[in-house]
Homo-oligomer: A and B are copies of this chain.
Amino acid sequence: MVISMYQASAPRFLNMLGNLSGILDKARAYSDLKQLKPATLPGCRLYPDMLPLASQVQIACDTAKGAVARLAGVENPRHEDSETTLAELQARIAKTVAFVEGFRPAQLDGSEDKDIVIKLGKTEVKWKGMQYLLGFALPNFYFHVTTAYGILRHNGLEIGKRDYIGNP
């Protein structure tokens, strides 16, 4: 047995997206307890020119969605970045989960050598499927989930590593 492209992608994204939504559950309770405005926590940042919590969640979602879509060679649907509340961000996650859950292993397996082209600003970067998944999509995905966690932790939410790791 070895690792398939499916095993290294869809179940990993789904586990972490579920954990992220659970963290947002706790953030909603915290926001209510502190009587914060609904848009306050989604707008929090670690530094003025870093993206706020809402963007971190949106990009985590889009990284997962884009990875499975590109590897499977199906259209990558555009999800508008219109969320301003924690509940809306959870709906964005749910929409992403539903999309990723729709992929069967056979759609992703065998995509190791597939040519993947990503636009990073004005530059086109070319990858093979495995390198794209392991070296770009997964590290980026974990970056944004962790940064969402860090923003909330920095703002006093009592969460711990178990909320992040979940039950993989």
Contact = CB atoms under 8 A, between A and B. Distances in A.
B8 A153 contact: no
A135 B15 contact: yes
Contacts of A153: 46-47, 50
A12 interface: yes
Q: Main SS of the interface on chain A? A: helix
Interface of A: 1-5, 7-8, 12, 15-16, 46-47, 50, 109, 112-113, 130-131, 134-136, 138-140, 142-143, 146-147, 149-150, 153-154, 156, 161, 164-165, 168
Complex copy number for this chain? 2
A130 B46 contact: no
B168 A143 contact: no
A140 B64 CA distance: 18
A46 B139 contact: no
A134 B1 contact: no
